[in-house]
Amino acid sequence: MPTDAQPTTRVRAADELKQVALDQFATVGFAGTSLQHIADHAGYSKSSVLYHFASKEALLEAAIEPAISEFEAVLDDFIAGRGSGRRRTLVARVVDLLLENRQAVHVFLIQGPSLAELPIIARANAAVRRLAEAIGDERESVVDQVRFGIGLGGAAFLLTAGRSFADADALPADDELRDVLHVVLGELLAPRDRPRPTTTD
Amino acid sequence: MPTDAQPTTRVRAADELKQVALDQFATVGFAGTSLQHIADHAGYSKSSVLYHFASKEALLEAAIEPAISEFEAVLDDFIAGRGSGRRRTLVARVVDLLLENRQAVHVFLIQGPSLAELPIIARANAAVRRLAEAIGDERESVVDQVRFGIGLGGAAFLLTAGRSFADADALPADDELRDVLHVVLGELLAPRDRPRPTTTD
DNA sequence: ACGCTACTTGACCGATCGGTCAGATCCTGC
DNA sequence: GCAGGATCTGACCGATCGGTCAAGTAGCGT
């Protein structure tokens, strides 16, 4: 695996294909995306796509696996961690992860349940469920679990499907979006028995 | 024009097909659902499905149109209305609409952007955009618009895709869910007096 | 009993699906 | 210049897609 500044042809083509595929999977869904579309959009033939990736599923896996690994890392840190800043740290890292992996998150969070038979999606679903349980364990109230579900799902919706409902010229920049998401998700997920934090980082 | 208590065969078959189709569209997506699957699952042949509905798109339209009309009615009342209880009323009606039309909402809110070329979906998308603008007009802060997006998208996520992430035996009953959603969405969407945290616009 | 309508179905259509395979073409080390 | 692997592609495969069509069946008014 070369770390060249000048990427080899193989790596470049595979990366292009992964990016195009991820865009398509996130916008029209995994089932709604054909290998032919991906190939056309990337400027290759369908055969080339299947040369670089053994199957459509393998292409999906290659496209979203990094985001899932990162998500699992965030989750493991949260579960293993302790201290008062845990929840705030989780929110910050999840927001960053959402912003940097919009398409992948859309695939495994929004389309996840309908693709559960794919191993990579099953792994992602297991991670999401683990996070839900970790939240549920430490705060048993249904209200809090709903807050978690709305926060996570709502943020994912906002950054993917929901974007198309906003005025194109009114879309906030990512930096602003990150700050705003910190505030709103902080309100949703922060422990309620304390006064709501009004200061941001 | 039968308003029979004993429904005609036509009405019953069409209703069965609509329900099965809606379930499938919501769980595996419109693109991922085939007429053959719908027919098999409903106990009819594919030809019968196409006898009752001229096309797959017509079946989708028949399945989700009532929910969209209801949503438009809620929206019109909100826009035309005034008074202090407006927002609270909106939240209550939207929650009821979500609970009673989970699958339809999932289709036109979550899958909406990817199906925008279908007239019925375009109509739904226009309604959602109208609601977003109505919210945005009266509360200019980006934070509030994000709160709206997270609330709406999050609730839709929670009731559809998100359900599969919860323990099956821990799923709250609809009554409890409605109360909880009132609380959480009320927190998110209700006007706040408190000073805004730092915004960058 | 008849005819009409509502309903259901299997056979069939062209298009497209994911995937295979046998070459072309290109690049690099020798 | 040549061998050999990497890359790319068109032709092709069986299956399935949405959709059409004609034939058949069931039920009801007359």
CB atoms within 10 A of CB A66: 12
Asked whether the CA dihedral A55, A56, A59, A65 is positive or negative, the reply is negative
| Mean pLDDT, rounded, of chain A | 84
Q: How far is A161 from chain B (nearest CA, A)?
A: 6
Q: Are A88 and A96 in contact (CB under 8 A)?
A: no
Please list, in sequence order, all residues whose beta carbon lies within 8 angstroms of the beta carbon of residue A163, skipping any fewer than 6 positions away.
A171, B113
Task: Tell me the pLDDT band of B39, cut-offs 50, 70 and 90.
Answer: very high
The confidence score (pLDDT) of residue B101 equals 94
- Judged on CB neighbours under 10 Å (0-12, 13-18, 19+), A37 is middle
Q: Which residues does chain B have within 8 Å of residue A162's beta carbon, measured at their own beta carbons?
A: 149, 152-153
Quick check: B136 pLDDT over 80?
no
Quick check: A111 pLDDT over 70?
yes
| Mean pLDDT, rounded, of chain B | 83
Give B15-67 as a 3 state SS string. HHHHHHHHHHHHHHCCCCCCHHHHHHHHCCCHHHHHHHCCCHHHHHHHHHHHH
Q: Are B27 and A115 in contact (CB under 8 A)?
A: no
Quick check: A62 pLDDT over 90?
yes
Residue range B110-118: average pLDDT? 86
Task: Tell me the pLDDT band of B55, cut-offs 50, 70 and 90.
Answer: very high
The confidence score (pLDDT) of residue B165 equals 78
Domain at A9-189: CATH code: 1.10.357.10
Task: Tell me the pLDDT band of A112, cut-offs 50, 70 and 90.
Answer: confident
**Any strand D atom closer than 7 Å to A22 CB:** no
Range among A162-171, B34-43, B111-120 rated most confident: B34-43
Q: Which residues does chain A have within 8 Å of residue B112's beta carbon, measured at their own beta carbons?
A: 161, 164
Q: How many helices (H) and strands (E) does chain B have?
A: 9, 0
What percent of chain A lies above the pLDDT cut of 70? 85
Instruction: Fill in the amino acid letter for A65.
Output: E
Task: Tell me the pLDDT band of B194, cut-offs 50, 70 and 90.
Answer: very low
Task: Tell me the pLDDT band of A198, cut-offs 50, 70 and 90.
Answer: very low
- B176: nearest Cα among A181, A35, A145, A57: A145
Quick check: B6 pLDDT over 90?
no
Cβ-nearest to A32 among B29, B110, B195: B29
Quick check: B114 pLDDT over 90?
no
Residue range A41-69: average pLDDT? 96
| Token couple for B22 | 């809606």
A contact test, residue of B37, B99, B141, B150 with most A CBs within 10 A: B150
- Judged on CB neighbours under 10 Å (0-12, 13-18, 19+), A71 is buried
Give distance CA A67 / C1' C20 (Å). Answer: 31
Quick check: A7 pLDDT over 60?
no
Quick check: A20 pLDDT over 80?
yes
Q: What residue ranges do the domains of chain B occupy?
A: 9-189
Give distance CA A147 / C1' C20 (Å). Answer: 49
The confidence score (pLDDT) of residue A69 equals 97
**Any strand C atom closer than 7 Å to A46 CB:** yes
Give distance CA B39 / C1' C18 (Å). Answer: 23
The per-residue pLDDT for range B17-32, each reduced to its tens digit, is 999 999 999 988 999 9
Residue range A26-37: average pLDDT? 94
- In angstroms, the Cα distances linking A37 to A34, B32, B70, B74, B111 are 5, 16, 36, 39, 19
Quick check: A137 pLDDT over 90?
no
- With an 8 Å Cβ cutoff, are B197 and A184 in contact? no
**Chain centroid to CA B45: how far?**
29
* Angle subtended at Cα B132 by Cα B127 and Cα B133, rounded to the nearest 5 degrees: 95
